[in-house]
Amino acid sequence: MLLTGASGFIGRNVASALAAAGHRLKPASRRHGIDYCRMQAEADWLPHLAGVDAVINSVGIIGESGSQRFEPLHRTAPSALFRACAQAGIRRVLQISALGADASAFSAYHLSKRAADDCLRSLDLDWFVLRPSLIYGRGGKSADLFMRLATLPLIPVIGDGQQALQPVHISDVVATVLQSLTTSTTRQTLDVVGNEAITFADWLQSMRQAQGLPRAAMFHIPLPLALALARLGRHFSPLLQPENLRMLQAGYRADVQPLTRFLGRMPLAVETRLFFSDLVPTGRP
């Protein structure tokens, strides 16, 4: 089984679960000598698909920096990989996309993800497009940023802080991947979301509580000012991008019932311990 993005937050958790389940894994990442930016054609991928019976693409960046750009990483390379799978006769292909990569997409991030999703869905494969919402758990870059933000004595939020989120724990993302590898019902696009929606302000307060801190006052920043600050901050962190703030402002929610039916259980409810854990045994897929 080929797993791209194997050294990332999602990838390393998926790799751990696959190994525990007895799968033989071929990891693909820069750490493993494969530069995704250079894998732009089917011919680049075919040598890496020998002996592979399934492919999982978990490559993703939330902000561009240096040579790490949305177009080659999110669209061109995975589309080439998917077409190479069709050429090599590999049927089971999973694409880890993002919630919001749909008809409403407006950001370069979501549009590039959706382009690869559409490519995969156009092919005669047993495909899955998994669209996780904000993922939390130990080691996630976005979650770590929000955890640090939540420790401030005065927490900055955009506008009224009522942007809708539906965070999902990394365990549920991994469980969805594992189930997608074995189910006979393929060709599905699944929104991988938590079992409840929460506002951004309340999410930060929950993270604050998880760190043993009392509730804090909110500092409300108008969106235009927040965007101006992000234009400066992006030079220090790829997460601090104006488009990321626009995506946060839009908010993203989805019906949890399709995922619940697929897993045979509800996604995990938010608990303090989950902020500091990765894979959590559930007794089910």
Sign, Cα dihedral of 259, 262, 265, 270: negative
pLDDT band at 3 (very low <50, low <70, confident <90, very high): very high
Statement: residue 229 has pLDDT above 70: yes
The answer to whether the beta carbons of residues 162 and 201 sit under 8 Å apart is: yes
pLDDT in tens, 258-276: 999 999 999 999 988 999 9
Mean pLDDT of 78-85: 98
pLDDT at 283: 54
How far is the C-alpha of 141 from the C-alpha of 153, rounded, in Å?
A: 21
pLDDT in tens, 30-60: 888 899 989 999 999 999 999 999 999 999 9
pLDDT in tens, 202-228: 999 999 999 999 999 999 999 999 888
Write phi, then psi, for 36 (nearest 5 degrees). Answer: -55, -30
Statement: residue 284 has pLDDT above 60: no
The answer to whether the beta carbons of residues 93 and 82 sit under 8 Å apart is: yes
How far is the C-alpha of 78 from the C-alpha of 209, rounded, in Å?
A: 39
Mean pLDDT of 119-133: 98
Statement: residue 285 has pLDDT above 50: no
pLDDT at 82: 98
The answer to whether the beta carbons of residues 38 and 59 sit under 8 Å apart is: no
Statement: residue 152 has pLDDT above 70: yes
Looking at the chain, the whole-number percentage of residues with pLDDT higher than 70 is 96
How far is the C-alpha of 16 from the C-alpha of 8, rounded, in Å?
A: 12
pLDDT at 139: 85
- Of 135-149, 150-164, 194-208, 212-226, the range with the lowest mean pLDDT is 135-149
Statement: residue 67 has pLDDT above 90: no
The answer to whether the beta carbons of residues 233 and 63 sit under 8 Å apart is: no
Return the H-helix or E-strand segment holding 54: strand 54-57
Statement: residue 118 has pLDDT above 90: yes
> pTM here?
0.93
Contacts of 44 (CB under 8 A, 6+ apart): 38, 80, 84
Question: How many whole angstroms from its chain centre is CA 23?
Answer: 22
